[in-house]
């Protein structure tokens, strides 16, 4: 576990928690819809959210509806910040382009050519998962890159056994900066934790704002250890009421 983390009282007093979902809070599953939410995790997050005065948020590549169905109606930056929801206000969506429908058709053909792959549609883009066809990664990249060659509005990103096409300008660093301006977060230091390539922008942004950005591989190692640490935080929080 990262030795640079402040003691729980100081962390809870000064920081906001911004947490990725897949590979961070939840163990990676063969399919995005097959993840398992451990009993008590939504309640734990909701409790910490209250103890932090609202300063806990999910920062995820998942669509907003999926993220909140899994972990509850917490503040959420979804689809890498393309959608921002701070309850009870309605969600805000960035004015970003949608991928051409022809790209979805081309990607559907790739699914047939590589059995075991999976297409995940999002508000502004899509993800092509190949955990079920682990040798297909290079072929999928070679097929997707020409789609973007003539359209700089989009970018292709590697993820955990997946390739994602998303609008340029939507990234977790931008999402984190936006979250740190709203009540419950403003005036605190960000503590972001993530596990994937797409989390690096948020890690860098947290550090640039004077906070802490942690990669799971270098800090907690597994989602189970992170969840144990969150439980320890909750146990050290009663002093906040004094």
Q: Is the dihedral of CA 221, 215, 82, 30 positive or negative?
A: negative
Cα-to-chain-centroid distance, residue 178? 14
Q: Where do runs of H (alpha helix) occur along the chain?
A: 8-14, 41-51, 64-71, 101-113, 137-148, 172-179, 200-208, 223-235
Cα–Cα distance, 98 to 133 (Å, whole number): 27
**20 belongs to the catalytic site:** yes
- The answer to whether the beta carbons of residues 156 and 163 sit under 8 Å apart is yes
Strand partners, 127: 120, 164
Cα–Cα distance, 238 to 72 (Å, whole number): 23
DSSP assignment letter at 222: S
**Chain position carrying tokens 């995940």:** 120
Q: Which of 4, 10, 20, 33 is catalytic?
A: 20
Query: Encoding tokens for residue 68?
Result: 């909140």
Residues taking part in catalysis: 20
């Amino acid at each position: 576990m990262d030795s640079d983390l402040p003691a729980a009282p100081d962390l809870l007093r000064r920081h906001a928690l911004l947490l990725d979902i897949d590979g961070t809070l939840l163990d990676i599953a063969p399919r995005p819809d097959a993840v398992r939410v451990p009993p008590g995790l939504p309640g734990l997050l909701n409790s910490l959210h209250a103890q932090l005065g609202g300063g806990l948020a999910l920062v995820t590549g998942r669509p907003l509806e999926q993220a909140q169905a899994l972990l509850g109606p917490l503040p959420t930056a979804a689809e890498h910040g393309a959608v921002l929801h701070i309850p009870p206000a309605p969600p805000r969506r960035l004015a970003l382009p949608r991928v051409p429908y022809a790209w979805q058709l081309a990607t559907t053909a790739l699914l047939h050519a590589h059995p075991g792959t999976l297409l995940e549609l999002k508000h502004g883009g899509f993800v092509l998962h190949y955990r079920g066809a682990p040798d297909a990664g290079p072929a999928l990249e070679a097929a997707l890159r020409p789609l973007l060659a003539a359209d700089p509005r989009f970018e292709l990103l590697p993820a955990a056994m997946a390739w994602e096409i998303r609008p340029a300008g939507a990234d977790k660093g931008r999402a984190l900066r936006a979250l740190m301006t709203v009540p419950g977060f403003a005036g605190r230091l960000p503590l972001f934790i993530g596990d994937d390539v797409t989390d690096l922008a948020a890690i860098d942004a947290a550090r640039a704002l004077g906070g802490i950005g942690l990669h799971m591989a270098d800090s907690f190692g597994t989602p189970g250890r992170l969840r144990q640490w969150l439980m320890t935080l909750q146990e050290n929080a009663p002093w906040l009421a004094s």
